Each structure stands twice: as structure tokens, then as C-alpha cells.
Structure 1
């Protein structure tokens, strides 16, 4: 079971990030072979999501029930599924829904968790206490369980894409909030924050010019890493039969449809599982590389 990033998985910035620091971060990124490997994989997956017709060998709706579970051949590299559809083409077209939901959920949880965590860490007092208690309530509910229950109760219309995004976002933001709060608390204790207060800098200006830029490092790392995690959760939910529904194509839905006949025809399951594994691995590698570039001391 994949896990969301925790506070110990991300670096802490302890000083204002000048332009030279950003250049040094990019220099460390450009020297990492894993950065280029993960970026190349994600470019291919992104191309599959944006223009699947350039990669797919056939139309995903071109199905032939007379060739149900047909083995792989020169025209169908991964064979055909229960409906006689080309598994490779379906896997290519499935990237759009799986990647789209993963990116949408990661951005939403990053926005919600970032705002709540920043407010709790910066203002402190009763605001911190109230927001922290709310965060702990949501943290007590396992993400997969909470999202599955919500989808079972309300995910009954359309393809289910929007409900999957809402369900995962509603239960996925607390981890981001906790990491952002920790980062903001760290920044508040730095000397440049004391100097900003001494020269009469307003709290809003200090928040915008100092706290937010210095807290973006850990936030960026956790959002990047969680991209792969949320893609996995979407696939698990769809595999359980409570996520996306036809005519939407996703990797999890393909795995759900193929698992009953796995021993007879393994390729309809292994095909989308391979696409899913490579994509998640690429996001995790990218998150690790970004973390090490931001805080090289953490990789030693």
C-alpha cells in the first residue's frame, strides 16, 4: 500500500532563497541521471495522455468479441481483453484519466493543505489549535477507506471522475497541511523574520515575501511525490469497482476487468499494471531527486 509523504521525508529551508540558491538547485538537478530518466518517462506518459492517437496502434473502441482474450501478436503487442479490445491501445488511452486525476488531486490537496498548514503555522494561537484538531480528525480516517465509502455512497452518476477527485482530495490534504505547518514554524524562527518584524514589516508582507517562498521547498517535494501516490490510489479504487466507470478508460478499471481471468490470460492485467508501475516510479524518483536537490545534506 503506497503511503503519502510525511514530515520526515521532506527538507526544510532555513534561509531566504536568493536567485543563486535557485541556480544551485537546478545545477544539482541537472547533474542527476535520475532526473533525466524520470523526466523522460513522464514526458512519454504525458504525451500518451495528451495525444494518445500518436502512440496507440488501434482505436480503443475497435473491439472484436470474436477475438476475446486473443494472445499477443504483431498487431496487438499485449493481446486483447475480455471485450476483444487491444490491451496496448487501451493502456495508452487509460493514461489520460489516471494521470489527469492524479495531477488534479495532487494540486487540490496541495492547495488545501498548503493554505491550512500555512495559516496554522503562521498565525498560531487558537487558529493553530483549531486547524490542527481538524487535521487530526481527517488523519484518523484512512485515505483509501474514507474515499471508498464516500464513492460508494455518492459516486453514482457519470463516469465518476469528479467524485474520485473530490473523494481523494477530501481525505488527502491533511498530510500536506502537517508538512506545510512544520515548514512555516521553522521559517518563523529564522533571523530574517525577526529582522523583518524589527523594521516594521507587516504580517501580510512578511507572509508573502518571506514565509511563502521559504516554505515552498518542502511543499513542492510532497506534492510531486504524492502525484504517483494518488495515481495509485485512483487505480486501487477503480480496481475495487467504486471508482471510474465506462466509457472512461483507466488503468485501475482495466485491472478490475482483467483480474477474474488472470490465470487464463495474464496480459490484459499485466499491461496496464506495467504502465501504472512505470508512471508511479517516475514520479517517486522525481520527488526524491527534487528533495535531494533542495536539501543535499539530507541525501548524505
Structure 2
């Protein structure tokens, strides 16, 4: 060991270049002969909001479990034949209200139809209504809320007063009145009603996010550099204001599925021959003492679906909200 060797631990760190040079010299003396220069520390690109949120979501067991449940529900909604080979409309009155038997694990309903097959096929109507209603309400509410929050003025006041009117309409009572005059058995009247009453909530969230985002320094800098309103709204404001809308829409999806089932249970939502969990729950409620399986299986499927979407929304909210980190 050379006599001039000084351990690098004995070198005090200072603000000048002398200490840094001494540390570098000490490290060079510690390296074995023939070794190359030390590699520079990795300088990875810092994660943004979305990459950071995805990093947290992948490690959140609530998100993973709810995501797997939702993927499974989406698959059976698109291809119910994968796990149910029967016909949901096939009736055998000789087996009315009968319990489980081989090949029919959930038993039969009052008309002798296989409850298992109807539970599987009922996922299609619920997922379709929830997805389409959420997409419609999110798009309409985001567009109106973003324009009102960005431009302000009389348009903002008009949106606020219109939203207050829709907030004052009772959802269940409004659905009974609105859907009772429609005889269609498809899902689209129910989707249209939910969008009609669901967009004000999204619009209010989007408006508040845009009002907050447009006050940031980068938006003011873009305005000073001559960026137009369209460019500022689409390029700078919308990407930074969309996170709360996604959170609200994800949680609302489960709420809309429950709303469809409630309206169908009351006879104002989906109507036969459409296969729906709400319709089957309504038909089975009278026979809960004699044949509880008719009610428990579709009600359980509905509860699991709603819970999965609400859990997913909570996980997304925790990941996208910096104040909860």
C-alpha cells in the first residue's frame, strides 16, 4: 500500500472542488489494477402521474382482485357460452322451483328455467348498461364541464343552473316516470336515462378540474407564448384534469349497474325477454321462502359485480390522488 494512501472515509465533504477531487483520487487508489472507471449511477427518467399510478396499482391487491373479477365478468358477458352451454329461455315446468341437480348447480326458477344459465347470461345486460351509460355520461359531462370551466361566463352559469335542475330529480322516481312510457325491451332506453341523469355529476367534476388546471404556471406560459385556446385545452389542460373524471366514472359504473337492476326489479327498467339479474330477482322475491336459490344466486352475482367496480374505483382514486400517497 503506498505511503500516500488516504482512506476515502477520512475525507470530509466540502462545498469546493478540492474535496470532490480528493474523493475521486481515493476511489481510484482503492480500485484494483486494470479496473475501469466507476460506472455512473443510473439516471432513470422520473415517472409521471400515469406511470406512477400504474406502478402503484400493480402492487395493490384490491386493484388486482377487482380487475380479475371484472375481466372474468367481461368475458362471460361477451361469450357466455364458454361456461354455460344451456339456453336461458328453455323452460321445463316439471322442474319449476326445483333445487340443484347434476348439470344444474343453481336449480330452476318458477318456469323451470336453469338459474345458472340465466345468471351467466344476465351479466351481458348489466355490463352493457353500466359500460355504455358510464361512457356516455363521462363523454357528455367532460365535454360540457371542460368548456364551461375553460371559457366561463354565461355558459358556465347556464351549465351550473342546468346541473342543479338535474340534481333535484329523484333518480328512482325519475326512472319510473321516464321508462314507464317506453315499451322497448332493449337496453338503450335505460342507458339513455342514466346518461341523462348522470352527466351533471361528471360535468361538475370536470369543470372544477379544468378551473384548477388552467391557473397553473405551464398554462399561463403557453398562453404567453401564443398558444390558442384549443391547443391549451387539448394539449395542456385536459391531460392534467382528466384524472378525477376517470375516478368518478369508474365508481359510477358499479352504481349504474345497481341502478339498472333496481329499475328492472321495479318493472321500469329492462323487460322480458331480456335476461337481467334485476328481472330474475323481482320474479324470485315472492318465492324466497319456498325456493331461496332463485333469489340468492342472481342477487349474489349482482353484489359481486357492483362491489368489484367500486373496489376498482377506490384503488384508482388512491393511485391518482397525490394527497393520499
TM-score scaled to structure 2, two decimals? 0.83
The root-mean-square deviation of aligned C-alpha atoms, in Å, is 1.3
- 1:156 aligned onto 2:183: yes
- Once residues 194 and 172 of structure 2 are traced to their aligned partners in structure 1, the CA distance between those partners, rounded to angstroms, is 8
- Once residues 280 and 203 of structure 2 are traced to their aligned partners in structure 1, the CA distance between those partners, rounded to angstroms, is 33
- Once residues 110 and 143 of structure 1 are traced to their aligned partners in structure 2, the CA distance between those partners, rounded to angstroms, is 18
- Length, aligned pairs only: 280
Shift of 1:204: 1.0
- Once residues 22 and 277 of structure 1 are traced to their aligned partners in structure 2, the CA distance between those partners, rounded to angstroms, is 30
| SS in structure 2 at match of 1:31 | coil
Q: Contact 1:79 / 1:87 at 8 angstroms: preserved in 2?
A: yes
- Once residues 319 and 49 of structure 2 are traced to their aligned partners in structure 1, the CA distance between those partners, rounded to angstroms, is 10
Query: Structure 1 segments of 4 or more deviating over 6 A?
Result: none
Structure with more contact order per residue of length (Cα contacts < 8 Å, sep ≥ 6): 1
TM-score scaled to structure 1, two decimals? 0.90
Residues 137-192 of structure 1: per-residue CA shift (max 9 Å, x gap): 11111222212210012x113x1421111111111111111111111111111111
Mapping 1:114-193, distance limit 5 Å: 114-153=142-181, 155-157=182-184, 159-193=185-219
Q: Which has the higher helix share?
A: 1
- 1:274 aligned onto 2:313: no
Q: Contact 2:175 / 2:268 at 8 angstroms: preserved in 1?
A: no
Structure 1 residue runs without a partner (length 5+): 1-17
Mapping 1:1-300, distance limit 5 Å: 20-153=48-181, 155-157=182-184, 159-298=185-324
Q: Contact 1:102 / 1:227 at 8 angstroms: preserved in 2?
A: yes
Shift of 1:222: 0.8
Shift of 1:207: 0.4
Correspondence for 2:40: none
Q: Rg larger in 1 or in 2?
A: 2
Structure 2 residue runs without a partner (length 5+): 1-45
Residues 109-145 of structure 1: per-residue CA shift (max 9 Å, x gap): 1111111111111110111011111111111112222
